[in-house]
A and B are shown apart, each in its own frame.
Chain A
């Protein structure tokens, strides 16, 4: 599915061919940790995307100033700065999401998707391409978290748009007893495994490499 346009390629690669969750299996910690509710999965994905885009751009812009010997500490400081900013902004303006994501927000710092993109892509490419790459990989990450969280919430809670009682929609009526396992960490592994199997089948079928 390689297109001639490098920008389009940068964008689609992160979403499909090199989807960080479904193809590369990177950043599994939040993937398994916060996908109990769709809103949380989506929020986590968007928070990580914001950090990823910002750090990609800054690192691409600074690539000529940062000596190779200290590049990793510099990358980490840049990433940690953006994560802390996101954390403070969430706490101020999205308190419910901040509470729900808990420790996984500061843990974005060590999310290997972000450091991986900084090291493998942003530190070698121009700013614009790093930006597009950040958008692509971020969307891919968000998409994966969203799908996984949707599956887990529907199966594990029988709702969508929870856990806020004002927005929660009960899918199967009051009498439905959800599969609590899917709300728990082991359920995250099982749901992720099923989704990985499904994406593998789809990739084979459509011959995407």
Chain B
């Protein structure tokens, strides 16, 4: 009994001393770290918006958006601080766009992508292709911007995150609107469409009848299980409920959700395959 007590007390003392030490060091280093991070952020703001006078901070879904104004109160643009899932871990970056939603600059704040491969996202070569692109551009891999071969996942994650961020900024702060995908002129039938996923194709069948999307069925998918369950059936249900493709994808599986939407869009852009309801076509 006495032995147990002695062991416990020794461990407790060691732990308490350790905790006290760490608290002390933390109190010294914490202000230095915060101060440096803030200074670096302000420097970036001034570099991207030389005429900056003040800014207002807004938060959407955990991402920070700073609306930048000049001294006359004119909106110069928006600087976003965004977190996205890369290949190895979370990528945090700043995205600066001007009042016309044109991308001014990208700044990777922190990432843990593979050195020599995924860390191309920090290079000018990769980032420059976004400069000057705006809300009006597709910002789609393979269309107007390119992934880097060998680092498809890291660069692909950046591209879709930048597209989402520009969309959010444009719609929320700069009064832009995406043209809705038109369902009016579609012929009845079953449409089949696919989209390339990380681990394989995602194939979807959409049944369109009486001017409405009736059924969205996933024929084949190779998404990560947890992500897929997060996005399905929620995303198809929302599309059917709202009868439009521009639904919010605020799930924990943004990429999978976006892929489902793109697959539905790809399907409806093609020709119908059958009359639907046939069962085994």
Contacts and interface: CB of A to CB of B under 8 A. Distances in A.
B18 A78 contact: yes
Interface residues of B, number: 23
B60 interface: no
Contact of B14 (A36, A78, A99, A183): A78
Interface residues of A, number: 27
B10 A80 contact: no
A66 interface: yes
Contact of B10 (A36, A67, A84): A67
Given A77-B15, A103-B112, A88 B26 contact: yes
A74 B22 contact: no
Interface in A162-185: 180, 183-184
B32 A67 contact: no
A124 to B, nearest CB: 18
B33 A92 contact: yes
Given A77-B15, A88-B29, A92-B32, A180 B116 contact: yes
A93 B32 CA distance: 8
Interface in B24-68: 25-26, 28-30, 32-33, 36
Contacts of B6: 67
A77 B21 contact: no
B129 interface: no
B90 interface: no
Q: For A66, A92, A180, A183, which residue has the most chain B Cβ atoms within 10 angstroms? A: A92
Q: For B33, B110, B115, B117, which residue has the most chain A Cβ atoms within 10 angstroms? A: B115
B180 interface: no
A95 B14 contact: no
Contacts of A102: 112
Contacts of A183: 115-116
Contacts of B226: none
Contacts of B36: 92, 95
If over half of B's interface residues share one DSSP class (helix, strand or loop), that class is named, otherwise mixed; here it is: helix
A1 interface: no
Interface string A70-108: 100110011011001100110111010001001100000
Nearest to A102: B112
If over half of A's interface residues share one DSSP class (helix, strand or loop), that class is named, otherwise mixed; here it is: helix
A69 interface: yes
A36 B119 CA distance: 13
A177 B65 CA distance: 41
A206 interface: no
Given A77-B18, A95-B36, A65 B112 contact: no
Contacts of B21: 81, 85
Contacts of B112: 102-103
B114 to A, nearest CB: 8
Contacts of A91: 29, 33
Contact of A84 (B3, B22, B28): B22
Contacts of B110: 99
B125 to A, nearest CB: 14
B7 interface: yes
A36 B32 CA distance: 28
Contact of A66 (B10, B15, B18): B10
Given A66-B14, A95-B36, A103-B112, 20 more contacts: A65-B10, A66-B10, A67-B3, A74-B10, A74-B11, A77-B15, A78-B18, A81-B21, A84-B22, A84-B25, A85-B25, A88-B22, A88-B29, A91-B29, A91-B33, A92-B28, A92-B29, A99-B110, A102-B112, A180-B116
Interface of A: 36, 65-67, 69-70, 73-74, 77-78, 80-81, 84-85, 88-89, 91-93, 95, 99, 102-103, 156, 180, 183-184
19 contacts: A36-B116, A67-B10, A69-B7, A70-B11, A74-B14, A77-B15, A81-B18, A84-B22, A88-B30, A89-B25, A91-B29, A91-B33, A92-B30, A92-B32, A92-B33, A93-B29, A95-B36, A103-B112, A183-B116
Can you list the 5 inter-chain pairs with the closest CB atoms, starting with the nearest? A92-B29, A92-B32, A81-B18, A88-B29, A183-B116
